[in-house]
Chains A and B, each alone.
Chain A
Amino acid sequence: MAFLNTLPGAVAEGLIWGLLAIGVYISYKVLDIADLTVDGSVCTGACVCAVLIGVGCPVIPAVIVAFLAGAVTGVVTGLLHTALGIPSILAGILTQLMLYSVNLTILGGKSLATIDPRTNRLLLNMSDNPKSIIVMIGIVAAVIIGLWLFFYTEIGLTLKSTGDNADMSRAQGVDVSRNKVIGLAISNGIVALAGAMLAQYKGSANINDGRGAIVIGLAAIFIGLSVSLKIKPNFVVSLIGVTCGGVIYYIVYNFVILLGLKTDFLKMLSAIIVAIFLAVPYLKTTHFQSKKTVPPIVKNTTGGEGDA
Chain B
Amino acid sequence: MLKITNLQKTFNPGTVNEKVALCGLDLTLADGDFVTVIGGNGAGKSTLLNAIAGVWKPDYGTIELDGIDVTNMPEHKRAKFLGRVFQDPMKGTAPDMEIAENLAIASKRGIKRKFRWGVKKSDRKQYKELLATLELGLENRLSTKVGLLSGGQRQAVTLLMATLNRPKLLLLDEHTAALDPKTASKVLYLTNKIVSENHLTTLMITHNMHDAIEYGNRLIMMHEGEIVVDVSGEEKKKLTIEQLLQMFEVSSGSKFGSDKAILSK
A165 contacts B75, CB within 8 Å?
Answer: no
A169 CB contacts on chain B under 8 angstroms: 76, 94, 105
B95 touches A164 (CB 8 A): yes
Type the 1/0 row for A149-160, where 1 means its CB is closer than 8 Å to any CB of B.
010111111101
Describe B's contact surface by its main secondary structure: loop
Chain A contact surface mostly: helix
| A172/B115 in contact, CB under 8 A | no
**Which residues in B have their C-beta under 8 angstroms from that of A11?**
none
Bound-complex Cα distance A150 to B101 (A): 14
A residues 170-217 with Cβ under 8 Å of B? Answer: 170-176
Other-chain contact of A154, B53, B79, B113 (Cβ < 8 Å): B113
Contact of A158 among B90, B105, B117 (CB under 8 A): B105
The interface size of chain B toward A, counting residues with CB under 8 Å, comes to 34
Q: Does the CB pair A171–B53 fall under 8 Å?
A: yes
A136-165 toward B: CB 8 Å interface, digit per residue (1/0)?
A: 000000000000001011111110110011
The total number of A-B Cβ pairs within 8 Å is 87
Give Cα distance in the complex from A113 to B198, angstroms: 67
> Is A167 interfacial (CB 8 A cutoff)?
yes
Interface contact A157-B114, CB-CB below 8 Å: no
Bound together, the chains give a CA A164 to CA B94 distance in angstroms of 6
Known: A153-B116, A157-B105. A172 touches B161 (CB 8 A): yes
* Most interface-central of A153, A171, A176 (chain B CB within 10 A): A171
Contact A154 B76 (CB under 8 A): no
- Does B104 sit at the interface, judged by CB under 8 A? yes
> Contact: B113 with A158, CB < 8 Å?
yes
Known: A155-B115, A156-B118, A173-B109. A168 touches B80 (CB 8 A): no
In the complex, chain B residues 93-110 whose Cβ is within 8 Å of any chain A Cβ: 93-97, 101-102, 104-106, 108-110
| Contacting pair A154 B118 (CB below 8 A) | yes
Q: Are A168 and B91 in contact (CB under 8 A)?
A: yes
| Minimal beta-carbon separation of B55 from chain A (angstroms) | 9
Verify B97–A160 contact, CB threshold 8 A: yes
Q: Determine whether B193 belongs to the interface, using a CB cutoff of 8 Å to chain A.
A: no
**Contacting residues, chain B, for A173 (C-beta < 8 A):** 76-77, 79-80, 108-110
Pair A157/B110 contact, Cβ less than 8 Å: no
How far is B82's CA from A172's CA once the two chains are assembled, in angstroms?
A: 9
Contacts of A156 in B (CB 8 A): 118
Enumerate chain A residues within 8 angstroms of B119, measured Cβ to Cβ. 152, 157
- In the assembled complex, the Cα of A161 lies from the Cα of B97 at a distance in Å of 8
Q: Does B84 contact A (CB under 8 A)?
A: yes
Nearest A residue to B75, CB-CB: A170
* Cross-chain contact A157 with B104 (CB below 8 angstroms): yes
**Is residue B92 contacting chain A, with contact meaning CB distance below 8 A?**
yes
**Which of A153, A167, A175, A176 contacts B118, CB < 8 Å?**
A153
Q: Is the CB of B114 within 8 A of A154?
A: yes
15 example contacts (A-B, Cβ-Cβ < 8 A) are as follows A153-B115, A154-B104, A154-B114, A155-B115, A157-B118, A160-B94, A160-B96, A164-B96, A168-B94, A171-B84, A171-B86, A173-B77, A173-B80, A173-B108, A176-B76
Sort A-B residue pairs by CB-CB distance and give the 7 closest, nearest first. A173-B79, A164-B94, A154-B113, A157-B118, A161-B94, A165-B94, A173-B109
Q: Which residues of A contact B (CB under 8 A)?
A: 150, 152-158, 160-161, 164-165, 167-176
Seed contacts A154-B108, A154-B118, A157-B105; 16 additional CB < 8 Å A-B pairs: A154-B104, A154-B116, A155-B114, A155-B115, A157-B97, A157-B104, A164-B97, A165-B90, A165-B93, A168-B93, A169-B105, A170-B76, A170-B79, A173-B79, A174-B79, A176-B76
